[in-house]
Chain A
Amino acid sequence: MKDLLSVEHVSKRYAAHTALDDVSLVIPEGSVYGLLGPNGAGKTTLIRIINRITAPDTGRVLFEGDEIAPEDVRRIGYLPEERGLYKKMKVGEQALFFARLKGLSRREATLRLKQWFEKFGIQSWWDKRVEELSKGMAQKVQFIVTVLHRPRLLIFDEPFSGFDPINANLLKEEILALRDQGATVIFSTHNMSSVEEICDHITLINRSKNILSGRVDDIRRRHGANIFEVAWRGDEEALRRAVAGRCEILEGAEREESVYRTLKLHVADDDQVRSVIAAMNEAVELRSFREIIPSMNDIFIRAVNGTL
């Protein structure tokens, strides 16, 4: 997979603090890339640098292999966390204005806008003023404005905040559809469950540094704590004897209503896994044996607290 955007050793200092300290990351084309991090970590600064709103002190940003240029901004769509539209302007007129700022002709923009408005079932909003819309309605308009010029790179900062579950889902599907059509998406959020659902890659920024980068699957597997859950039936003493010395039994969770009982094990050495399974299989009736993969939420908290 080709890389659409790479950030190389970018640092940005403000008078009082360092916003970004030697941050590098590579965003593969056609991926949904999660940009994670606690508040104030430097995510917004990084997004602004990619958008060319501010310039880095050192380092550079490459767009399709070349240093990012002013014209590239037209190939980026940005939905900031703080949404904003001109309140007194009519919805249609405003959407046209933003589309033309991104280089679309009036005709082309009108055509595409009509399609999107139809898709979202909001044709009747065209002549309404933005101040007449609810917050969620305005966000839909803002989403359309962001993606209308079919940018190669889409940057969404907390896109689901303020949406009800139905509309959040609608939006998620639209984002994934855009990715399938070839767009690359940078997705900045605190909401870890949405990261697991839609992100392929992530970068975790904490205190202005990139502390964790990679494919979501790899990261979760890599940071698994080698903990396994076993469901079984039979003699507990026999089981304990079988695995003794090979691994550590963490807890035994009794489930009265079920004929199977569960147990958590810590297998320190990956090579031991097979022998543990074999030994247990001899001793009791094994129903399941699976690795407990940590959630992104756990990884996030542990990484930020420095206990990863």
Chain B
Amino acid sequence: MPTSNILLIIQREFNERVRKKSFLLSTLITPFLIIALMAAPAFIMKYSRGEQKRIAVIDDSGLVAPYLESNETVRFETTNLAPDEARKRLSDLFGVLCIGSDILENPNDVRLYANASTSLSLESNITDQIAKILETEKLKAYDIKDLDRILGEVKTTVAMQTFRNDRSQEGDSQAQSSAAATAIGYVLGFILYMFLMIYGSMVMQSVIEEKNSRVLEVMVSSVRPFDLMMGKILGVAAVAVVQILLWGILVMVVGGFVMPRLLPAEALAGVQAMQQGMPDTVSMSGMDPEMLQAVAAMTDLGYMLKIFGCLLLFVVGGYLLYSAMFAAVGSAVDNVQDASQLQMPITLPIILALLMMLAVIEDPNSQLAFWFSIIPFTSPVVMMARIPYDIPWWEILLSLTLLYASFVGMVWLAAKIYRVGIFMYGKKPSLKELAKWMRYKY
């Protein structure tokens, strides 16, 4: 009964990994790590500002200096010194800003003498401010009544919400936020990439270990090499599935039950309005719509179920395809160092997929995006990054079908290499030799 042998092997591989403390730790810690990674840029921006830069201003026109606004990064100080003298004497300042006397006619007559390298944000801060001041000055020249009040009223900021036309007829006009979709798409694409690499090389290492400890010889006297390989691949797959299910439950519990309790009441109302497709209520709530949409997505159980369902199918499919190749490479070598060269044909498509994902996420409905999310080797990562954008079901199904079909083909090839490889010790084979092994008869 070979089936029960496969089951025994799956069980062993699964237990060996799940019982490790590192599994529990990585399962619990990874979601927090992902959140931390996403929050990191904000934190870095907040705390990397350094001290306030002091800039002396020599304003020959007298128009600009009074209106220059200091903030936490830069402080403007008007001075009466001559430019050359100021540059010599005020070396403890960040720099000297000189504004020409006919600045209104000649707006290019602005010079900054800096004692250290300046940043792009500092330069644009100064030029933006001067440009605004000059605009206001020029407007004043037209002598309009109540100019300040008019300017105050005219000032507007726009935040747009996007809705899908093809959905609204069914009363399910879920708000689409491309910002939220992009963020979720990135995270999903990276999760896929991580799973393929980490779990794939886990299979490879485990094959190498079995080979080195010579336990393989004992095993193959009881089970077919194919069962052994499949058992290992499926056992590790079961670990991946459990990990994703745990993450899914974790995220849905946090999103569905914890978040609504933590959010302020008006934000919650906005989120609910967003989920029920009432844009008017949303815009009245006065909250940032982008933010609301992200929260709405996170707390929408149906949406999250779809995401995790797809995640599960693509992780398993992608993992199966790649782990078969990893297993073949593992069987051919004696140690992990020797594997690196043979791994190239495996890691290249994964890295290509990652690069494609970055391009695809910019325009998820392009031809490029479509094809790379259909071709099996890149499809898991690329398709997963597109899924938050609500792409048609038939594309997902086609992609999945091709992925699982190519897994079957790949296992067939990998098993041939595996059969030969597990009894080869010593010399590291070349890729050409691996191809030759596929034609060996057993």
Chain A residues within CB distance 8 Å of chain B: 15, 51, 53-55, 57, 70, 73-74, 76, 78, 80, 82-89, 97-98, 100-103, 142, 145
Contact = CB atoms under 8 A, between A and B. Distances in A.
B214 interface: yes
Contact of A78 (B16, B213, B218, B436): B218
A53 B221 CA distance: 6
B202 to A, nearest CB: 14
B12 interface: yes
B222 A101 contact: yes
A231 to B, nearest CB: 51
Given A70-B2, A89-B16, A84 B215 contact: yes
B216 interface: yes
Contact of B8 (A54, A78, A100): A100
A84 B217 contact: yes
Interface of B: 1-2, 5, 8, 12, 16, 209-210, 213-225, 436, 441-442
A82 B12 CA distance: 22
B213 A87 contact: yes
Contact of A51 (B5, B12, B209, B221): B221
B215 A86 contact: yes
B12 A85 contact: no
A80 B221 contact: yes
Contacts of A97: 8, 12
6 contacts: A54-B442, A73-B222, A82-B217, A83-B214, A84-B218, A142-B218
A53 B16 contact: no
A82 B214 contact: yes
A98 B222 contact: yes
Contacts of A102: 222
A85 B223 contact: no
User: Most chain-B CB neighbours within 10 Å: which of A83, A85, A86, A145?
Assistant: A86
B334 to A, nearest CB: 13
A55 B214 contact: no
Contacts, number: 59
A55 B442 contact: yes
Nearest to B2: A70
A84 B214 contact: yes
A84 B213 CA distance: 5
**Which of B219, B221, B225 gathers most chain A CB within 10 Å?**
B221
B442 A78 contact: no
B442 A85 contact: no
Nearest to B213: A84
Contacts of B225: 53
A254 to B, nearest CB: 54
Contacts of B209: 87
A130 to B, nearest CB: 9
A85 B218 CA distance: 8
Contacts of B436: 15
Contacts of B218: 78, 80, 83-85, 98, 142, 145
B214 A53 contact: no
Nearest to B425: A82
Contacts of A51: 220-221
B16 A85 contact: no
B213 A85 contact: yes
B5 A84 contact: no
Contacts of B210: 84, 86
A98 B222 CA distance: 8
A102 B218 CA distance: 11
A156 to B, nearest CB: 12
B223 A101 contact: yes
Contacts of B222: 73-74, 98, 101-102
A115 to B, nearest CB: 21
Nearest to B209: A87
Contacts of B224: 70
**Nearest 8 pairs between A and B by C-beta?**
A84-B214, A84-B215, A82-B214, A78-B221, A80-B217, A101-B222, A84-B213, A51-B221
A83 B213 CA distance: 8
A101 B225 CA distance: 13
Contact of B221 (A15, A76, A85): A76
A145 B222 CA distance: 12
A286 B213 CA distance: 61
Contacts of A54: 442
A101 B8 contact: yes
Instruction: Give the interface centre of A55, A82, A89, A103 by most chain B CB atoms within 10 Å.
Output: A82
A53 B213 contact: no
B221 A73 contact: yes
A55 B442 CA distance: 6
